Chains A and B, each alone.
Chain A
Amino acid sequence: MAKVIIYPTNSLILSDLVQRFGHTPLAMMEKIKEKVTTVGVDSPPMNITAEEPKHGLKYAAVEVPAGVRGRMAIVGPMIEEAEAGIIVGESPMAFGCMGCARTNELTKYLIRSREMPLLELEFPKDDDEGQEFVYRIAEFLKSLDEVKGESEEATE
């Protein structure tokens, strides 16, 4: 089982696919749930305070807007934790969306910078492409078991 960062980071479909193949999706929803249910912080709607943009300085300099740094404070640790990644490009907003183009650029760059298995594909435009889309993701996720198994054997 691998921890897989998905992009868009809040895509329910991608998150579900990762889970169906026995892996752990690293997705925004889980992190936001953690934020919202954190006891002692009262900063609705997402319990993000002025501290998050400061934590985001690890990923982007102070001249980068606070909204980008606040998002990166949540996404950045997920990227660091990931063992594999799936990036879907050109997707409609309903598929998942982080809201900010600059955050998207930085997120994709940081995922690509990690030396880990990575699948990049475009969002399908018709049914045939849709089937191919799901097939490629499925194959990638299955391959992670093999990679993970090999590396565990090597460690032993």
Chain B
Amino acid sequence: MNEDAVVKVALVSCGSEYAGVHGELTSVAESVNAKLVYPEIEIDILDDIGKDFGIEAASPDLCLMMARAKAVVEGLSDVDGVFITSCFRCAEAAIVRNEIRRYINKHSDLPVISYSFTERTTAATLLTRMEALTTIARRRHLLAREKQSGLTAGIDSGSTTTKAVIMRDNEIIGSGWVPTIKVIDSATEAFNQALEEAGVKQEDIQAIGTTGYGRFLIGKHFGAKLIQEEITVNSKGAVYLADTQKGHATVIDIGGMDNKAISVDDGIPGMFTMGGICAGASGRFLDMTAKRLGVDITELGALAVKGMEQNVDMNSYCIVFGIQSLVNSLAKGSTPEDVAAAACHSVVEQIFEQQLQEVDVKEPLILVGGSSLIEGVPKALGELLKINVLVPPNSHLIGAVGSALLASGYVEE
């Protein structure tokens, strides 16, 4: 597919036009040069779709969703990706939405995103997801890249920290990691750290890739050849660092502000989910826990592996209540080790409850992002899912590595 071509995204939805979010969906699609299309169906199919698909839903619009999903899978509708969406808090729709997502993923190689909206959902909320969906359709050739070549840089401007790497001929030769304060200043500092360690000058760099929340700003500032959302970049970086580029993998990225769970096939994301109900499920909660315990964030993991989460009743569903539980536990005499373990468990439990239901977890499970360095987090995740959790080397630099790797596609071009 041509990079400038309009990406056709099948909208498989229930209620979006009545919830007042339709304008936002259209707007976000247009912003990434995509067009929402409604898969055409024969009206008669609706009479039997419940039995054909297997879910006899009471809501006719959900039957319509199943019929449209079938039209997509059977190739009756020519589309490049699928956006499945329904109302937040509707149990019936959640069941259908989830099964449609699995059905399309099983029977086609189309990228799929699933999202439950409220009337407050905005185009900005959906931008990263829609950008990722169109990238997978539009830049599949780039995402198939398995080796870095030339001298490239990747900068990941995250909500909490900014990371930079310099790569040469498939090796990381320099890295930088600083807290994000002023977006451009922090990126410059991280980039300079990486350049210094690598012993190269900025003008020698053949291509720069940027990702993260500040990707557009820093991308423009540094003249990046690749400005890319973090879902595709991080999944690419994860399978590259974990050396699992072929076959299935699941990537979990616990970020400072939100989390991503991505189901990857041959290095290309298939299904993914992003977000969380509250910051209680993100790295921010671990950061606040460390501060309350009076330890550096880098020491929290070692503390957590010595503790027993069962000894502390903690629910970080909301970051405010989570901190309240933490304070109460300490006041009752809980040890810092147990509190640290409970905080790690609480974060991964929320990821399990809120996000891992939206993707199919297939081994290897690769945990990345700054939180993966807190030993208590992979331990808690492994215990919860009863599988081995793989934390690749440089897992905190995932976005920067993915950007440098993908940017090298522009060196040869």
Contacts and interface: CB of A to CB of B under 8 A. Distances in A.
B117 A99 contact: no
Contacts of A49: 20, 23
Contact of B18 (A51, A67, A92): A67
A52 B120 contact: no
Given A53-B119, A66-B117, A100-B14, A48 B90 contact: no
B71 to A, nearest CB: 16
A67 B19 CA distance: 4
A67 to B, nearest CB: 2
Nearest to B87: A65
Contacts of B59: 99-102
B93 interface: yes
A44 B60 CA distance: 21
A68 B61 CA distance: 12
Interface string A43-56: 11110111111100
B405 interface: no
Interface residues of B, number: 32
Interface string B6-45: 0000000011111111110010000000000000000100
B88 interface: yes
Contacts of A70: 15, 18-20, 119
A13 interface: no
Contact of B61 (A52, A53, A94, A99): A99
A48 B18 CA distance: 6
A51 B17 CA distance: 13
Interface string B79-93: 000000011111011
A29 interface: no
Contacts of B119: 50, 52-54, 66, 69-70
A66 B23 contact: no
Interface in A21-63: 42-46, 48-54, 63
A52 B20 contact: yes
Contacts of A100: 14-15, 18, 59-61
Interface residues of A, number: 30
A124 B47 CA distance: 16
Nearest to A94: B43
B147 to A, nearest CB: 46
Given A66-B88, A93-B60, A48 B46 contact: no
Given A99-B59, A100-B14, A44 B26 contact: yes
A93 B16 contact: no
B118 interface: yes
B60 A99 contact: yes
B58 interface: yes
Contacts of B60: 93, 97-101
Contacts of B117: 66
Contact of A45 (B17, B46, B87, B88): B17
Contacts of B92: 101-102
B17 to A, nearest CB: 6
A40 to B, nearest CB: 14
A67 B87 contact: yes
Contacts of A63: 89
A51 B46 contact: no
Nearest to B59: A101
- Residue from A45, A53, A65 whose CB has the most chain B CB atoms within 10 Å: A65
A64 interface: yes
Contacts of B20: 43, 48-53, 66, 70
A99 B15 contact: yes
A3 interface: no
Interface in B44-77: 46-47, 57-61, 63-64
Contacts of B14: 67, 99-100
- Residue from B16, B86, B87, B89 whose CB has the most chain A CB atoms within 10 Å: B87
13 contacts: A42-B23, A44-B22, A53-B20, A64-B89, A66-B15, A67-B18, A71-B18, A92-B47, A99-B14, A101-B58, A101-B92, A102-B59, A102-B90
Interface of A: 42-46, 48-54, 63-71, 92-94, 97-102
